[in-house]
Amino acid sequence: MRIAIVGAGLAGLACAHELERLGHECEVFEKRDRVGKMFNTVETMLESLSTEPSKDVFETLRQELHLPLNPANHITRLVLHSQSRDTLIRGHVGYTTTRGPEARSLEQQLLRHCRSPVRFDQNPDVEELATAYDWVVVATGSPRWPKHFGLWQRDIAWYIRGANVIGDFNPGELHFYFNTRYAGTGYAMIAPFDERMASVGLGVPDSSEEAVEAYWTRFRQEQGHLWERIEDEFKLECYEIGRVKQRVVGNVIFVGNAGGFIEPLGITGQQSALQSGVLAARKIALGDEAFDRFAARWDHFYSDMMRLRLYVNAWTDREMDRLVGLTGHGVGSVLIRSPLNLLDLVGTAMAHLPVTQDPSAEVGPS
């Protein structure tokens, strides 16, 4: 069987790894001259945001998806800040991962475990590949190909601005800021690579370049004392998130972000990218239907998260304060120890709330 994978990111390499495990060779086509995101950055894999209820997200990756991956740090202290409250949640919160060219990044780890050839500097035409290969897996991390196939429905776009900074950090501690002055109804985050370096970033939904620049300036002015100096800066405009109407079209399968497997509430998508890649490989190699079942579950989860996002879009600092206050007095620490999937619970509750704001409305700093 001839199999092509377009995109050597999380979903594409996870797919290649599983195909190899099941005895199939594949060819991977990558647009860049190396694997990994454009810049080194820290991302999170928090248990409460996991789509699949589990005790330990990395154990699940290893045992159920056979992905021999390691996190960057184990997070045992989560500090939530709003305009007038701060809460510390202790316990097994989850993990951070690194992304980008550095050796510890998830993509570099996956690449070291894959034998299939990765052809760099390639931007192949998916329709042409589909005539030459038995299967084509689209794992490009973007909506370009689902748009081309007429499958994409855009819901929201996130604007990202941040920097990697030097200072003194606790690698097991993660800080989130829910403050409309810093990131509208999105969030700011300080996530350490290690004791001496951290990623500091803002994620703002449906905004504009100018508005995000103003947020970033304010965040640096007010919180810049938490680091010594900026090493390198990054920004990403208009990171589109949406739904993909159909993920299997003939012999073409869409996975990862290209398959709409990223949620719109807080843009988490690493676990679902890995999972969709592995399950697509099982569909190809075994004719297994787990991919289709996962996609159906995901669509349900995504709708709940989108509803929640529209609800949060109307929040002011009063609601942010309430959210952070609710997790105080040890409540947050008890909740993260429970086996319940918190996002699922909140999402289900939110399914009954009315939509309060036009999702396309721009939000800027006051």
Ligand X SMILES: Cc1cc2nc3c(=O)[nH]c(=O)nc-3n(C[C@H](O)[C@H](O)[C@H](O)COP(=O)(O)OP(=O)(O)OC[C@H]3O[C@@H](n4cnc5c(N)ncnc54)[C@H](O)[C@@H]3O)c2cc1C
Residues that bind ligand X (CB under 6 A): 6-12, 29-32, 35, 43-45, 122-123, 139-142, 160, 236, 239, 256-258, 262, 267-270, 273
Q: How far is the CB of 332 from ligand X (least distance, A)?
A: 19
**Closer residue to ligand X (CB): 258 or 278:** 258
Residue corresponding to tokens 């390499």: 13
**Closer residue to ligand X (CB): 236 or 321:** 236
Q: How far is the CB of 84 from ligand X (least distance, A)?
A: 26
Q: How far is the CB of 49 from ligand X (least distance, A)?
A: 7
β-bridge pairing 41-46 and 3-6: unpaired
**Closer residue to ligand X (CB): 119 or 300:** 119
Q: Give, in order, the Cα–Cα distances in Å from 38 to each of 97, 172, 236, 253, 269.
A: 15, 25, 10, 25, 17
Q: How far is the CB of 44 from ligand X (least distance, A)?
A: 4
**Closer residue to ligand X (CB): 127 or 358:** 127
Nearest to 159, CA basis, from 104, 209, 88: 209
**Closer residue to ligand X (CB): 231 or 358:** 231
> Which amino acid, 281?
A
**Closer residue to ligand X (CB): 141 or 184:** 141
**Closer residue to ligand X (CB): 44 or 164:** 44
**Closer residue to ligand X (CB): 149 or 239:** 239
Q: How far is the CB of 340 from ligand X (least distance, A)?
A: 20
Report whether 276 contacts 255 (CB < 8 A): yes
**Closer residue to ligand X (CB): 64 or 358:** 64
Report the Cα 86 to chain-centroid distance in Å.
Answer: 25
Q: Structure tokens of 85?
A: 């409250």
**Closer residue to ligand X (CB): 66 or 317:** 66
Residue with nearest beta carbon to ligand X: 9
Q: How far is the CB of 88 from ligand X (least distance, A)?
A: 20
Q: Within a 10 A sphere around the Cβ of 335, how many other Cβ atoms?
A: 16
Q: How far is the CB of 25 from ligand X (least distance, A)?
A: 19
> Which amino acid, 63?
Q
Q: How far is the CB of 122 from ligand X (least distance, A)?
A: 6
Report how far residue 240's alpha carbon sits from residue 151's, in angstroms, rounded to the nearest whole number.
14
Q: How far is the CB of 336 from ligand X (least distance, A)?
A: 17
Q: How far is the CB of 256 from ligand X (least distance, A)?
A: 2
List CB contacts of 83: < 8 A, sequence separation 6 or more.
179, 180, 181, 317, 320, 321
**Residue 9 falls in which region: left (phi positive, over 0), alpha (psi -120 to 50) or beta:** beta
